[in-house]
Every structure is written in structure tokens, then in C-alpha cells.
Amino acid sequence: MLQSFIHYFLHFIAIGAIAYWYDKKQWKKNWLILLATMLVDLDHVFADPLFDPDRCSINYHPLHTYYAIAVYILGSIFVKHKILKLVFIGLLFHMITDFIDCLW
């Protein structure tokens, strides 16, 4: 119960704070962009069973591997394009959120 709460809090609410920190004037747009990075969970459709709350996503799903995470880190640091950079930051934060689940 607490775990789900923290998971969804981070996935939906905490990214609002990131959106605001990133650019106060455009926080709503940024929030939508960050919400869109949730689509990375679409890689779960290749998994069986489709959804398993007790499973650790990290290194299980194709877009949740260490290779993918390395790309997200590099993207957040080196990409200059503002929206693209935010997408990478969002993806990276998503991985952190999923990783917290693996610690429970």
C-alpha cells in the first residue's frame, strides 16, 4: 500500500516539481512532456505476465536495462535541445522510481 503510494506519487506528482524546476514559465507543458515519458512502460507488453507489481522492472524490460539507462544519463547531460533533454531527464527519473520498487 505504502509502496504503491510512493510509486505513483513519484511517477505523477514529483515530476510536477521537476517540470517547475526545469522552467517555471512552462511547467505545465513540461509536466505533460514528463507524463509522456511514462510511455516507456509500453515495453512491458513484451513481458509475461504483462503486469506484476512484485517484479523489478530494472534490467527486465528492454527500455529499463542498464544500457538504456546509460543512454538516458548521457542524454540528460549532453543533449542541448530543451524538450529532448527534458524527455531524457524524465526517463532517468522514471528509472529511479522503478528502481526504488526493487529495493522493497
Is 57 near Zn ion (CB under 5 A)? Answer: yes
Cβ 99 vs Cβ 58: under 8 Å: yes
Cβ 9 vs Cβ 103: under 8 Å: no
Measured from the CB atom, the residue of 57 and 76 that comes closer to Zn ion is: 57
Is 41 near Zn ion (CB under 5 A)? Answer: yes
Query: How many residues form the binding site for Zn ion (CB under 5 A)?
Result: 3
Is 98 near Zn ion (CB under 5 A)? Answer: yes
**What separation, in Å, do the N-terminal and C-terminal C-alpha atoms of the chain show?**
12
Site residues for Zn ion per CB under 5 A: 41, 57, 98
